[in-house]
A = this chain, B = another copy of it.
Amino acid sequence: MEKIGVIGAGSFGTALSQTISNNVKNVFLYSRRKEICETIIKSGYNSEYYPNTKLNKNIIPTNNLKDLKNCSAIFICVPSAGFRKILKKLKEIGVNNEVILVTTAKGIEYPSLNTMGNIIKEYFDIEYVALSGPNFASEIMLDLASICNIASKNLKNSIKIKNVLKTDKFKIEIIDDVIGLEFCGVIKNINAIAYGICEGMEINENARYAILNRGFNDTKNIILNIGGLKSTVDKYCGFGDIVLTSTSKESRNHTLGMLYGQRIIVDEKSSGIVFEGKNSIKAIKAVCDKYKINSVIVDFVYDVIIKKNLPKLAFKELWNKL
């Protein structure tokens, strides 16, 4: 492929652009913020996210979505809250069904309960590719050893995207359970928040890992009930990402949980940070209600974050249910 588009010049979009630039002629990296494009053009750095890593020269920053019109594939790396808006715009500028769209966003639209893939299908009659894995973007940016899963109902699309992404260090494993992969990416944040709440309260390790274990099995049960495969949760997009996001100090949703466990309220607006997991709690709780799935971990996180119940009482209730 000659021309690939990436929408979203945040940490993940920028890192993927860098990887992809090894395999294709040009990467068009779209940012809705003009100043980011200007900085990249001037300095070669996306200094807000990666002040120490120069972008490869064939990455072309742009503030104009139309520049992505003739790309053979477009990666959509924006938070789920802005996902539908991007699709609308892509349709408006005349992107057609020849394109391969790739979603890396980890969220469920609320209250529609659409996955990001479902939203793509509303605008384009194509088999999209979803990407998820235990991946800190900063490590992909540096081409450190990483693995992710991709899934599509069209294997040819998966293979094309694999070829665009892979390097010696960055491995891509194709699976075929699209809905399972998409839900793994969402539910892992809920697991990370649950683990974080427990850590914030200084709950002992035996209990924390028991909770994480239960979350893993609740994830399998949810994914089975919504039409995915349990075995998907054993894969990098499942086990790897759940454990990474829950136990690593670098994970934002883990931190969010820790703060709630310590009863510290975050000013998200002033922080300018998107806690994808927090947006997902209501959505996943609604999915559980809709499919009549019982998940004690989803309930625990919902009780603490949404209902603002006392974390220690919520934990006691959870422990009694195990």
Contacts and interface: CB of A to CB of B under 8 A. Distances in A.
Interface string A120-162: 0000000000000111100110101111000000000000000
A171 interface: yes
A166 to B, nearest CB: 12
Contact of A207 (B146, B212, B247, B319): B146
Contacts of A317: none
B206 A171 contact: no
Contacts of A135: 206
- Among A133, A145, A203, A247, the most chain B Cβ lie within 10 Å of the Cβ of A145
A64 interface: no
A147 B322 CA distance: 9
A278 to B, nearest CB: 23
A244 interface: yes
Contact of A147 (B133, B169, B205, B210): B210
A210 B146 contact: yes
A209 B140 CA distance: 14
Contacts of A169: 319
A250 interface: yes
How many copies of this chain are found per oligomer?
A: 2
A205 B250 contact: yes
Contact of A206 (B144, B203, B206, B319): B144
A217 interface: yes
Interface stretch (A102-110, A111-119, A179-187, A234-242): A234-242
A281 B210 CA distance: 26
Given A234-B217, A240-B213, A247-B247, A205 B139 contact: yes
Interface in A163-220: 169, 171, 203-207, 209-210, 212-213, 216-217, 220
A258 interface: no
B204 A139 contact: yes
Contacts of A206: 133-136, 139-140, 144-147, 244
